[in-house]
Amino acid sequence: MAKHPSIVPAVSGSDALTQDVLAGLKKSPKELSPVWFYDELGSFLFDSICELPEYYITRTELQIMREHAAEMAASLGPDAALIEFGSGTSMKTRLLLDHLEMPRAYVPVDIAREHLLDAAGTLARDYPHLRIIPVCADFTQPFDLPANVAVARRRVVYFPGSTLGNFDNVHARSLLKRMREIVGGSGAVLIGIDLRKDPRVLERAYDDAAGVTAEFNLNALRHVNRELGADFDLDAFDHLATWVENQSRIEMHLVSRRDQVVHLGGENIAIARGEHLRTEYCHKYTLEGFANLAGTAGLAVQRVWMDPQERFSIQLLEPRRIQ
């Protein structure tokens, strides 16, 4: 069930990663990229989060897929080439593939090469007639599509999980624009979007009673310690998930329990007691707010599927007609 959101810093290589983390720690407030959540343990913890009673997102999206996948597939039509951003285990995709009429190809795009190839192999056994063309790439950066997919009549980007919510509005818009470019004038985007709701429900979804999300958040520090040789003390931070009304988002923070100094890349980073380190945004949209955002990226909402409680939505977007 793990998604591996491929939100990686714009630089790579250990030195560049160190510089990237240092730059975040020198900001005010301090920041650490959510990419650091996802090492082996982090992916396992995320899988556990998906099973938590408070974390409605994965369960609700699956429920909508089960209920409406046939209709979604019918709206996409025959001969579609399906391109999935951050494909992970392609779990939700199966529900779609089961209903698509003669799909031309499935292109899972993911940054985790081993997991990508494993998932593609498993899928190939279950869908022997489907042409599966995995692409190992960071979907936040431009990447090339396989030639035969680039010319398919109907190209569809599938982006489940509400991962778009992890990007601020500027980056969300440019990601939507990229999808618009990939699908061209006659394609479509099928995207999972989490909806605004009672802040208490949202805060619980990101601060569960069993403490799994807290462990997931703290694991980012463990990952940085191991990968970059930092010395964050995991016991010196508290997990915080807080609803920020004027940004319409949950923010996950780590709050320092004491004055401390962290060493990284030969530098000393002072962190004061009570100081916050921001690790993730999770924007929650109204239907209208998301339609506006998509509109600014040249995409128009054609269909919206929701669960009966309207907690989550899966939306079909198509390029806006040129006026």
Tell me if 319 contacts ligand AVJ by CB under 6 A: no
In one-letter notation, the amino acid at residue 247 is Q
Question: In the beta sheet, which residues pair with residue 159?
Answer: 191
Q: 40-51 vs 212-228: helix axis angle to the nearest 10?
A: 170
Among 24, 108, 134, 161, binds ligand AVJ (CB under 6 A): 161
Binders in 14-53 for ligand AVJ, by CB under 6 A = 49
Nearest residue (CB) to ligand AVJ, 108 versus 161: 161
Label the pairing between strands 154-159 and 312-319: unpaired
Among 207, 251, 280, 307, binds ligand AVJ (CB under 6 A): 280
Stretch that binds ligand AVJ, among 15-23, 163-171, 262-270, 306-314 (CB under 6 A): 163-171
Q: Determine phi and psi for 48, rounding to 5 degrees.
A: -65, -40
Report d(CA 156, CA 218) in Å as an integer: 36
Stretch that binds ligand AVJ, among 110-118, 157-165, 223-231, 311-319 (CB under 6 A): 157-165
Tell me if 5 contacts ligand AVJ by CB under 6 A: yes
Return the residue nearest ligand AVJ (CB atom): 282
Nearest-approach distance from CB 249 to ligand AVJ, in angstroms = 10
Nearest residue (CB) to ligand AVJ, 24 versus 42: 42
Among 43, 60, 162, 219, binds ligand AVJ (CB under 6 A): 162
Tell me if 160 contacts ligand AVJ by CB under 6 A: no
Tell me if 6 contacts ligand AVJ by CB under 6 A: no
Report d(CA 292, CA 168) in Å as an integer: 15
- Counting beta carbons within 10 angstroms of the beta carbon of residue 53, is it exposed (0 to 12), middle (13 to 18) or buried (19 or more)? exposed
| DSSP reduced 3-state for 86 | coil
Total residues interacting with ligand AVJ, rule: CB under 6 A: 13
CB-based contacts of 153: which residues, under 8 Å, 6+ apart? 79, 104, 186
One-character DSSP codes across 166-206:
GS-HHHHHHHHHHHHHHH-TT-EEEEEEEB---HHHHHHHT
Nearest-approach distance from CB 264 to ligand AVJ, in angstroms = 23
Nearest residue (CB) to ligand AVJ, 87 versus 213: 213
Among 8, 32, 57, 120, binds ligand AVJ (CB under 6 A): 57
Report d(CA 299, CA 296) in Å as an integer: 7
User: Which residues sit at the interface with ligand AVJ, rule CB under 6 A?
Assistant: 3, 5, 49, 57, 161-163, 165-166, 206, 213, 280, 282
